[in-house]
Amino acid sequence: MVRAGVVKHPREWEHSGYREIQKPPSRYGIIDLLELNASFGFADAAQLQETRRQWIEQALTRNLERENRCSEAIVVGSLDFDEKVKSELGSKAMHRDIEHIDGAYTLREQSEVYDGNLIGDTEPLRLENAFL
C-alpha cells in the first residue's frame, strides 16, 4: 500500500504483514512467526521484529516502485506454497497458472484473459463473427 500511495509507512495499513510482525495478534494471525524466525535463522521474535523494522526503514528511504509480480498476482512465494494456496482455492484457481518470475513463483491468471483484442481462443467472440 506504500507503493500504491495509500499510506506512507506499512504500520499505517491495518492488514499489513509489517504490522502483524511488529504487533502479533493474540488470535487469528496469518503469519507463522515461529516458521518465519526459523527461515531467517533468528534467535527469537524480538530479533526478527527489529531486523524487519530496519529493512523497512531502509527501503522507505529509496524510491519504491511498483513490482508487477506482486501487484498482479494472488500469491508470490515458493512453488510448494503457491501450489498449496492454489489447491486450497479450489475452483477459484482453476484457470490460474503458477509461473516462475524473477526468482519467485507467482499464482496469477493468464494475461490473455484480459486481452482487449480477443485473440487466440476467444477469436470467435469478435464482433464481426456475430449475427446482428
Tens-level pLDDT at each residue, the chain (132 residues) = 787 778 888 899 888 888 899 998 888 888 888 888 888 888 888 898 999 899 999 988 887 666 666 667 778 888 898 899 889 988 888 888 888 877 888 887 665 554 455 455 555 555 665 555
Q: Are 89 and 75 in contact (CB under 8 A)?
A: no
pLDDT at site 118? 46
Phi, psi dihedrals of residue 85, rounded to the nearest 5°? -65, -40
pTM check: above 0.85: no
pLDDT at site 51? 92
pLDDT at site 25? 86
A 10 A CB-CB count for 63 gives 4
* DSSP conformation letters of 78-95: -HHHHHHHHHHHGGGGTT
Q: Spell out the alpha helix ranges (H) of the chain.
A: 17-22, 33-40, 45-60, 68-71, 79-89
Grid cell in block for residue 72? 498482479
Alpha-carbon distances, residue 56 vs 51, 102, 106 (angstroms)? 9, 21, 22
